[in-house]
A = this chain, B = another copy of it.
Amino acid sequence: MADLTGKKPHHHGDLRAALIQSGIEILTESGLDALTLRRCAARAGVSHAAPAHHFDGLAGLRGAIAKEGFDRFRQQMLRARAVGGQDPKGRILSLCRGYLEFAVENPGLFTLIFSCGPMSQFEEDMNAGSATAYGVLRETCAPFVPKDTDPMVIETQVWSLIHGFSHLFLAGTFGPGHGPPDHHRLFAPVMALLQEIGTDPAPK
């Protein structure tokens, strides 16, 4: 008979979810290097070998945490775009702002997400609709795509630009001169490019 309660059959309520949550907390508090199987298990209150029954080793746990992190990332993108209003330029700028904010506020999780392989493993069907991360990006960029242009080119441009900026900023590559996150300096280059792109928006 099916388990109508949703509870796991033994001991712990939902160890799998607890381990993922513990991992995210460790990631937030102590960074990527501190994310170990044994620490996650200890924080969840189980023995160090317990995670083996729920994940395929450390790589499996990292992947599950990345998937959960990506889901939070996707939801933040949706919220960010919403506050951007109806103006296409406002929406895309708000989206980029949300992207960078997530990276700055969750550096360990952000790094983990983008070191775990293709985004497609987090989203079953990238063409499903506006609920997917790629769907959010695609629809937000749509007003800026001229006729006779592959939309993917524009999407890849915007994605590469904001991701590269976020990554370089996060890694500290720009140097201490650029930090800490001063939003005015932070978004100036992004805004400038978006104005370039938005110079000739093709409605519909």
Chain B nearest CB, measured from A165 CB (Å): 4
Contact check: which of B163, B165, B176, B188 meets A118 at CB < 8 Å?
A: B176
Q: Which B residues touch A152, using CB under 8 A?
A: 189
Asked if A131 lies at the interface with its beta carbon under 8 angstroms from chain B, I say: no
Residue of B nearest to A118 (CB): B175
Residue of B nearest to A115 (CB): B171
Residue of B nearest to A119 (CB): B173
Do A160 and B173 form a contact, CB below 8 Å, given A167-B114, A168-B114, A196-B196? no
Q: Which B residues touch A192, using CB under 8 A?
A: 149, 153-154, 157
The docked-state distance in angstroms from the alpha carbon of A196 to that of B195 is 11
Contact check: which of B157, B163, B175 meets A189 at CB < 8 Å?
A: B157
User: Are B161 and A157 in contact, CB atoms less than 8 angstroms apart?
Assistant: yes
Asked if A47 lies at the interface with its beta carbon under 8 angstroms from chain B, I say: no
Asked if A164 lies at the interface with its beta carbon under 8 angstroms from chain B, I say: yes
User: Are A119 and B175 in contact, CB atoms less than 8 angstroms apart?
Assistant: yes
Q: Which B residues touch A156, using CB under 8 A?
A: 165, 174, 189
Asked if A117 lies at the interface with its beta carbon under 8 angstroms from chain B, I say: yes
Q: Which B residues touch A172, using CB under 8 A?
A: 117-118
Chain B nearest CB, measured from A49 CB (Å): 22
Do A168 and B163 form a contact, CB below 8 Å, given A173-B114, A175-B118, A196-B196? yes
CB contacts under 8 Å to B, within A152-199, are: 152-154, 156-157, 159-168, 171-176, 188-190, 192-193, 196-197
Chain B nearest CB, measured from A136 CB (Å): 15
List residues of chain A with CB under 8 Å of any chain B CB.
114-115, 117-120, 126, 149-150, 152-154, 156-157, 159-168, 171-176, 188-190, 192-193, 196-197
9 A-B pairs whose Cβ atoms sit less than 8 Å apart in the complex: A152-B189, A153-B189, A156-B189, A157-B161, A160-B164, A160-B190, A161-B161, A164-B166, A164-B167
